[in-house]
Amino acid sequence: MNATSTSHDVAAVDHAITSRMSVRAFTQQPVPRELIAEVLQVASRAPSGTNTQPWKVYVLQGASRDSLVDKVCATHEAMRTNPELAKDYQEQYDYYPAQWVSPYIDRRRENGWSLYGLLGIGKADKDKMHQQQQRNFRFFDAPVGLMFTMDPVMGRGSLLDFGMFLQNIMVAARARGLHTCPQAAWNAFHSIILPHIGAGEGERMVCGMSLGWADESDKVNTLVTPRVPVEEFTRWVD
């Protein structure tokens, strides 16, 4: 341990990291603008290649949040009625692989069925699945929605920088008692989102995020996703 660090510092940082989770039910308690700005200011200390700081953030609250929810939910419903519409709503970059392989597909399936199982949603419950998916586009009732974009001139390496910035937001939020849910689900609806938030020409969606106070009474927030042990993903090269 560094001489300038204390066990309290270590415990506080570790708690903020390990207590972070993807919350899928929030209360309606507002989040002060000053608190959001504070989280973003702290998060901006994230490293980036040659200090390019490629992140752009749009904060939605109140009417702007609710209006976007209405637009995207209506489109999501229309896509269910007419699946052909899906071709008009595609991500601007490949977040997931075109072809899944083990162990990643196994972890994905475990995550999905753990969530649906907790909520009592079976494989044949298409209506309930659809409703749960749409919870994404309601920010899981969080009062704050964040949209993240990046200029198209930036390379793929900037997505690595962006990931560190996003993690900083989530950890800084936890340190202040807030919770988050990072969401790639929004990406397919960039043609609706980007004009709504007033994004500049050519800006690309990176992801969305819900931010607020967790609803501790909702059972969906009892889901704790597993992590593989260090020995499984680490090789010591002597």
102: number of Cβ within 10 Å? 7
What six digits make up the tokens of 161? 């920088």
What six digits make up the tokens of 120? 């009592």
61: number of Cβ within 10 Å? 16
- CA nearest 141: which of 188, 181, 199, 191? 181
Print pLDDT tens along the chain (238 aa): 565 678 899 999 999 999 999 999 999 999 999 999 999 999 999 999 999 999 999 999 999 999 999 999 999 999 999 999 999 999 999 999 999 999 999 999 999 999 999 999 998 999 999 999 999 999 999 999 999 999 999 999 999 999 999 999 999 999 999 999 999 999 999 999 999 999 999 999 999 999 999 999 999 999 999 999 999 999 999 9
Cross-strand bridge partners of residue 56: 149
Residue-range domains of the chain with CATH: 22-225 (3.40.109.10)
| Separation CA 73–CA 57 (nearest Å) | 22
User: Which residues in the chain belong to E strands, given as ranges?
Assistant: 56-60, 144-150, 179-183, 204-212
DSSP 176-203: TT-EEEEEGGGGGGHHHHHHHHTPPTT-
Cα angle 106, 72, 201 (rounded to 5 degrees) comes to 100
**Chain centroid offset of residue 76 CA:** 18
pTM for the model:
0.95
| Separation CA 40–CA 1 (nearest Å) | 28
pLDDT at 211: 98
pLDDT at 2: 62
192: amino acid identity, one letter: I
What lies within 8 Å, CB to CB, of 120 at 6+ separation is none
What six digits make up the tokens of 107? 């972890």
What lies within 8 Å, CB to CB, of 13 at 6+ separation is 171
